[in-house]
């Protein structure tokens, strides 16, 4: 019997005894991710496409199982589930992001941004700092998104920006959550601020007018918990981040266009879009700036805010 034949026979015998778990590829990593996005909406279509691209690029080894429509509770509840290890991640607006990382409240400042160009410069400038803030809390910030600008709505005609902001005062500082939604739908709020697409989602029966003033910007983002992220190999993590990086500008552009379509839909539903004058916008910007300066300068929040303002002012 030749040495070569003995070698082949030995290899054949060994292959018969390889454990099945070692011979088969590992099972896909399925990440359960929550969102307030409603099935069929532009938001949901885009994030489902993101998940499909991740699955394709990882050859099926990473799959996102989206739980849509607020089935897991509001964003604060979803953030709590992530903190307790009951949820792998979430697509959040500012409410959930702030619940996870309080410094993200910097984006809530009224009048901070005037345009999407300023938003894009700021998010690019502080991207590394924001990812580090999330990492310190055991989270992975995978990508930016946004819900557009929060604008002022009213149950009565808008005669001036100053008047409608005065009427909105009791609700103007509320986060985008159930408390604000209930105040609007019940009729308790006479004026309030909210992104146009939120207004469409909860119904326009109570609203008569909207100011074109961009009161404040509403940030968004995709976040994963550390235990969930650790289930991915290094190569899979890089692939997921690469897909998010590539899709981020496309998703933001898609959602911004959806906001414009939403404003047009509001107009067609009978909501009067009231134009603000240059004088009114300048007065609002000045008052907003003074208001930000008067706020307590909390550590972390003040530093991030300074970086954001520097990026806005850069040309």
Half-sphere exposure at residue 181, Cβ-oriented, CA atoms within 13 angstroms: 11
Q: Does 21 reside within a domain?
A: no
CA distances to 9, 186, 201, 269 from 206, rounded to whole Å, are 81, 8, 13, 12
Instruction: Say if residues 224 and 158 touch (Cβ distance below 8 Å).
Output: no
Q: How many CB atoms lie within 10 A of CB 258?
A: 21
Q: What is the rounded distance in angstroms from the CA atom of residue 315 to the CA atom of residue 312?
A: 8
What pLDDT was estimated at residue 176?
Answer: 85
Q: Show the domain range for 237.
A: 26-313
Q: Is residue 6 part of a domain?
A: no
Burial 239-251 (b: 16+ CB within 10 A, else e): bbeebbeebbeeb
Residue 295's pLDDT is 67
Q: Which H or E run contains 225?
A: strand 209-225
Q: Return the pLDDT at 25.
A: 59
Q: Which residues of the chain have pLDDT under 50?
A: 1-24
Other CB atoms within 10 Å distance of the CB of residue 283: 15
- Whether 19 is covered by a domain: the verdict is no
Q: How many domains does the chain have?
A: 1
Q: What is the mean pLDDT of the chain?
A: 89
Look at residue 296 in the predicted model and tell me its pLDDT. Answer: 61
For residue 221, being part of any structural domain is answered with yes
Q: What is the pLDDT of residue 315?
A: 67
> What CA–CA distances, in Å, run from 84 to 32, 80, 88, 124, 226?
14, 6, 10, 30, 11
| CATH number, domain with residue 173 | 3.40.190.170
- In this structure, what token pair is assigned to residue 169? 């005062």
Is 205 domain-assigned?
yes
């Amino acid at each position: 019997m030749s040495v070569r034949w003995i070698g082949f026979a030995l290899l054949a015998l060994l292959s018969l005894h390889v454990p099945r778990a070692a011979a088969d590829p590992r099972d896909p990593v399925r990440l359960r991710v929550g969102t307030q996005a409603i099935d069929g909406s532009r938001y949901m279509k885009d994030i489902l496409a993101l998940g499909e691209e991740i699955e394709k690029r990882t050859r099926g080894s990473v799959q996102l199982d989206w739980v849509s429509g607020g089935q897991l509770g509001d964003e604060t509840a979803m953030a709590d589930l992530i903190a307790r290890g009951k949820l792998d991640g979430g697509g959040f607006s500012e409410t959930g992001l702030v619940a996870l990382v309080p410094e993200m409240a910097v984006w809530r400042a009224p009048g901070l941004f005037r345009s999407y160009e300023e938003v894009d410069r700021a998010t690019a400038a502080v991207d590394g700092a924001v990812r580090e803030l999330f990492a310190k809390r055991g989270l992975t910030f995978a990508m930016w998104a946004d819900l557009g600008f929060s604008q002022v709505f009213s149950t009565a005609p808008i005669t001036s920006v100053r008047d409608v902001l005065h009427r909105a005062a009791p609700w103007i500082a509320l986060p985008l959550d159930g408390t604000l939604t209930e105040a609007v739908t019940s009729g308790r709020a006479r004026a309030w601020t909210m992104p146009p697409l939120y207004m469409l989602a909860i119904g326009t029966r109570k609203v008569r007018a909207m100011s074109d003033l961009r009161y404040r910007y509403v940030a968004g983002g995709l976040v994963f918990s550390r235990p969930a992220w650790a289930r991915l190999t290094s190569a899979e993590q890089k692939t997921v981040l690469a897909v998010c990086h590539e899709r981020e500008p496309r998703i933001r552009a898609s959602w911004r266009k959806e906001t414009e379509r939403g404003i047009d839909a509001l107009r067609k539903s009978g909501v009067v879009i009231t134009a603000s004058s240059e004088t009114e916008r300048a007065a609002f910007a000045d008052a907003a700036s003074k208001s930000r300066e008067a706020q307590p300068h909390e550590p972390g929040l003040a530093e991030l805010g300074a970086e954001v303002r520097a990026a806005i002012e850069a040309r």
